[in-house]
Amino acid sequence: MLYLIGGAARAGKTRLALRLFQAERVPYFCVDYFVSALQMGIQEAGIQGEMPTQEKARRLWPRMEGMLINIVEVEPAYTVEGDSLLPGGAAGLAERYPNQVRTCFLGYTDITPERKLAEIRQHAGGLNDWIQDHTDAYILDLCVEMIEFSRYVAEECRRYGLAYIDVSQDFQAALEGAYGYLVNSPTPALPRMPATPDIQGGKKA
């Protein structure tokens, strides 16, 4: 089984992957490492870690899809997580490998950038936590972008019939719901997802 965990930065993707590793012994890989390898080793690929998330994901998918296919066909269980995973690509892979790919996307559409910034600062400090190296102004801009990205991801998940779990209101409960969704079959009911109004291709209004 390949577990794909996508969605916004600071939505709990790595925590969820770590939970799968600790509880189910499923190893995991962060797509950010692949992005860094391309950025430093194959500059002509035009992929930069700081570029807009949707653009980065679209450029990355043709270079990452083969790796994911190999994982499905070789590994008994593996998790790949990152904000560069998009619902369209994940849905195509799940269709190609029925019952061998399970996807879950996390985001936060029902929160203000200021509140998300406060939550990030409150819970920062984990191992290799890159957020500590940035100013509040930088993180606030990131929160604005990721709230809009969450809305895009939520709409795309509706379009493709994939699981989207919103972590805006109760972060821990939402992650528990996501974990339950990934490890249980048949899939349990998902936490209620807030409405997502006025989505226009993920662009900022």
Domains and CATH numbers, the chain: 2-183 (3.40.50.300)
Whether residue 7 contacts residue 105, with contact meaning beta carbons closer than 8 Å, is answered with yes
pLDDT band at 130 (very low <50, low <70, confident <90, very high): low
The conformational region for residue 8 under phi > 0 = left, psi -120 to 50 = alpha, else beta, is beta
Q: In this predicted model, what pLDDT tens digit does every residue of 9-58 receive, in sequence order? A: 999 999 999 999 999 999 999 999 998 888 888 888 778 877 888 999 89
**pLDDT(133) > 70:** yes
3-state secondary structure 137-148: HHHHHHHHHHHH
Judged by DSSP in three states, 80 sits in strand
The residue with greater pLDDT, 33 or 134, is 33
Determine the Cα–Cα distance for residues 51 and 186; give it in Å rounded to an integer: 38
pLDDT at 128 over 90: no
pLDDT at 203 over 60: no
Whether 132 shows a pLDDT value over 80: the answer reads: no
Integer Cα distance of 47 and 19 in angstroms: 29
Residue 72 near residue 93 (C-beta atoms within 8 A)? yes
DSSP 111: S
pLDDT tier at 193 (50, 70, 90 boundaries)? very low
